[in-house]
Structure 1
Amino acid sequence: MATIEDTVRVPPNMFDKPLEEVAAEILNKKYVGKLDKKLGILITVTQVTDHSEGTVVIGDGSAFYHVKFDALFFKPTLHEVIDGEVIEIIEFGSFVRIGPLDGLVHVSQVTNDYITYDEKRGALVANETNKSLEQSDFVRARIVALSMKGNSTKDCKIGLTMRQPGLGRFEWIEEEKQKSKK
């Protein structure tokens, strides 16, 4: 969470609505998905905490307000363990949705087993253990490569691994827990 200041232009057709709601809506349209190098990616403006009296500029019927608002950010860090959903399986790996970002688990980082791509199923399959990874599976992975350049989520690149203990598809993790209890 961070508190930020900005000026908001409120058009005349929104004058009848509460300023805090209108300002939050306008700020969300402007900032959601934007990347700040220090704070991360803005997820949402949670609330407008303070505002000035509105001023009208000649030639523009809108009112301009200086506002302070609270915003929620997501900033992944190197070596962080994250949970996500597999959103796409391709020949060289799987894309995992982690909050507002997608990370790539390369086939070499899925398991310690040799992985093949099953095009008919749209799955990655381990040769020896028959473990499979498919779209909509939930996984736990570790961030091993991170590039947060540019201004938006499209410019971010995240490399993930699931080859360490306690990582992988949730069902695999549960199986390992059951084996260790025996």
Structure 2
Amino acid sequence: MYYKIKLQDKVRVPPGRLGEDLKSVVLDELQRQLEGSIDKEIGIFIAVTEIHEIGEGDIIPGDGAVYYYVEFDAVVLRLAMQEVIEGEVVETTSFGAFVSLGPIDAMLHVSQISDDFINYDEKNNTLICQESKRKISVGDTVRARVVSLSLSERDPHESKVGLTMRQAGLGTGTWLEEDLLHGGDVADGVKN
């Protein structure tokens, strides 16, 4: 889930930027430093949006920069185990689909799509359920549940998020619409 949070941090303003508008420089430095990074307690930083307060600056001998205590707002994504999320399929492969959650992609393995056997149509980049003929293609919006979560603060690109759609109320937008039209939950093409 996305959150707007208020944080405090110390920001280094390089000597070459001391003559510029302080608020703009602090915002730039925080954005450069935080956006795209991961803190396991706070979440995945999407954006630093506003500077509320800039405190007195500290000078460290031999550095030349000024360090300011700053209070600011940031937008973060916090994922939790078993959370239901929505994302867009950005790639399909023979072993599953990659789903964009915004700042991070998640993996939807073929074993977590359906009880059906899944065929991969490489020509059309589509995963197809053998019996129900339901499909997953690039550009589809999916609703899925987080089943594995491994976030790396050191290297955000090494973070891994696993998803499942093997429960009622989960699937592509088309699947969910079909389920509603059939008067209830439909799992893998069989009415409950």
TM-score, normalised by the number of residues in structure 1? 0.88
Q: Percent identity?
A: 38
Contact 1:116-1:127 at 8 Å conserved across structures: yes
Q: Deviations over 1:94-150 (max 9, x none)?
A: 000112111101011112211011111111111112111111111000001111234
Cα contact 1:87–1:97 (8 A) shared by 2: yes
**Deviation of 1:26 (Å):** 1.1
1:72 CA drift (Å): 2.1
Between the aligned partners of 2:69 and 2:96, the Cα distance in structure 1 is: 47
Aligned-pair RMSD on alpha carbons?
Answer: 2.0
Q: Does the alignment pair 1:12 with 2:3?
A: no
Q: Give SS of 1:95's match.
A: strand
Name the counterpart of 2:44: 41
- Normalised to the residue count of structure 2, the TM-score between the two structures is 0.84
**2:62 & 2:41 partners in 1: Cα distance?**
37
Quick check: 1:20–1:47 contact (8 Å CA) kept in 2?
no
Residue number among 31, 35, 51 corresponding to 2:34 in the alignment: 31
- Return the match for 2:117 from 108, 114, 117: 114
Note closer, same or farther for the CA distance 1:152–1:40 as it changes in structure 2 (3 Å cut).
farther
Runs of 5+ in structure 1 lacking a partner? none
Instruction: Name the counterpart of 1:128.
Output: 131
Alignment gaps of 5+ in structure 2: 185-192
Which residue is 2:89 aligned to? 86
Displacement of 1:74 after TM fit?
Answer: 1.2
Q: Secondary structure at the match of 1:112?
A: coil
1:97 paired with 2:97, answer: no
Task: Check if 1:172 corresponds to 2:175.
Answer: yes
